[in-house]
Structure 1
Amino acid sequence: MDVLLLITVAALWGAATGLLVPRAAHRLSVEPEEPWRDRCPAGHVLAGPAGGWLGGPGRGECATAAPLMTPLLTALVCAALAAATGTPRPELAVWLLAAPFAVLLARVDARVHRLPDGLTLPLAAALPLLLGAAELLPYDAGSWLHALLGALALGGGYLVLFLVNPSGLGFGDVKLALPLGAALGWYGWGVLFAGAFAGFLAGAVYGLGLVLLRRADRSSAMPFGPSMLAGGLLGLLLGAFTAVP
């Protein structure tokens, strides 16, 4: 498949799935003890396919988000992954399937500092299984064993950090580290280290920026999920670009 066509198809997939993210993000952006929202910002019941979970961001007073921001972001993420991969390798399908959920997790965590179990735990189970299937197909450029070890290594590392300093890291971050470690570990230990380091660096830069802008201080709670995912994306781009089938 031509690279430009691959990127175009990936971008269209990202834009289409990104249209479904704002409603889900609106419904999931609640405190742990609160039920998921079932109404739009204007108070109307969110009805539609799959019990009201599927649907666009809405318009006017019913809009759950800016209508173009999330689809554009998801399209850019998917296009970048396709461009870095360069060919229709089987693992690219896994990355494209996971991308909308990663954007959804980042949006929810940015809004309410929460990574819902309903997203992180299925991803932790699904990603290794999908990568296992990808390894059975021709032209893959990774290792399922490394993916499993990467999930254990990154998840274990985050668990240690959580136990040492529970106030500095949420347990949702530990759960997110499992699928993130599997994705990065697919391309090897170097990519796993690079993606994990990039996540901490992104978090530090983000926190420092908020402090400098006086929008937070050193004791303020900050969402770490978006930084983890941003670092993971950079690691995946590196791994996909340098991988040899």
Structure 2
Amino acid sequence: MLTYMWPVLAGLAGLVAGVLVAARIAGRSLRAAWRPAVTGPRDVLVPLACAGAFVAFTLRFGLTPALPAYLYFAVVGVALAAIDVVEYRLPDRLTLPSYPIALALLAGAAFFEGWWSLLTAVVGMAVLWVLYALLFLLSGLIGPGAFGWGDVKLAGLLGIYLGWLGAGACFAGTFYGVLLGGLFALALVISRRGTRKTAIPFGPFMLAGALIAILVN
């Protein structure tokens, strides 16, 4: 019975975290987060996404030392995706502090599970950062606005979490993210709602690709 309770409790915790995240994105205080005020789709979708991610990661990792790190990733990832979809930006105030926080949480997990995974997390961070930096520099050939500097910084963060799971997860997460973003861009062109030069928020696709890789690898 307790085994089934943990995902339920995780979902409730994710729902609470999502309400707080949605409030901060909307510029409301944490105290005001609990007042009935749905100002847009994000006020509903963000809590649901956080709850879903909490449940998924709890089922994926169980009550292991790595779980807190991935729950933190769920909160930050949902916040970044929600902002990027609307504002076409990935704020440094969320991305950059998440590097040391993620590494610290995973270092705590490595104390119990072994240090090799932490090493591969650091390598994954460096590899994906360099890869997306090259894509950013070549974005003029791919198409203006295909990649932004915020995507590069997000890639390093994703590399930490994917690298913890190994090189296969890094490759899969990157592949899925680029595939999803490419399919979305292609759909815009086919439906004539955009062109090859239309900028799209790529962060949510990177995060979705990482989520898929984390859950299935």
Using the size of structure 1 for normalisation, the TM-score is 0.79
Whether the 8 Å CA contact 2:23–2:30 is kept in 1: the answer is no
Q: What's 1:90 paired with?
A: 65
Q: How does 1:187-226 map to 2 (within 5 A)?
A: 187-226=165-204
Instruction: Spell out, residue by residue over 1:62-109, the C-alpha distance to the aligned partner (whole angstroms, 9 max, x if none).
Output: x25454322111111111111222x21111111112211110100111
Q: What's 1:161 paired with?
A: 135
Q: What's 2:33 paired with?
A: 55
Is the aligned partner of 1:14 residue 2:14? yes
Alpha-carbon deviation of 1:59?
1.7
Is the aligned partner of 1:78 residue 2:54? yes
- 2:82 and 2:110 mapped to 1: Cα distance? 31
Count, aligned residues: 213
SS at match of 2:26: helix
Q: What's 1:69 paired with?
A: 45
- 2:30 and 2:212 mapped to 1: Cα distance? 36
Structure 2 gap segments, 5+ residues each = none
SS at match of 2:66: helix
Alpha-carbon deviation of 1:135?
0.7
* Structure 1 residues 56 and 213: CA distance shift in structure 2, 3 A: farther
SS at match of 1:68: helix
- 1:140 and 1:9 mapped to 2: Cα distance? 28
When the two chains are superposed, the root-mean-square deviation of aligned CA atoms in Å is 2.2
Whether the 8 Å CA contact 1:57–1:67 is kept in 2: the answer is no
- 1:99 and 1:181 mapped to 2: Cα distance? 15
Whether the 8 Å CA contact 1:10–1:96 is kept in 2: the answer is no
Q: What's 2:214 paired with?
A: 236
- Which structure shows the higher helix fraction? 2
* Structure 1 residues 48 and 200: CA distance shift in structure 2, 3 A: closer
Percent sequence identity over aligned pairs: 36
- 2:58 and 2:182 mapped to 1: Cα distance? 28
Whether the 8 Å CA contact 2:42–2:82 is kept in 1: the answer is no
Is the aligned partner of 1:134 residue 2:112? no
Using the size of structure 2 for normalisation, the TM-score is 0.89
- 1:184 and 1:48 mapped to 2: Cα distance? 31
- 2:35 and 2:200 mapped to 1: Cα distance? 26
Instruction: Spell out, residue by residue over 1:17-52, the C-alpha distance to the aligned partner (whole angstroms, 9 max, x if none).
Output: 01112222234xxxxxxxxxxxxxxxxxx4555xxx
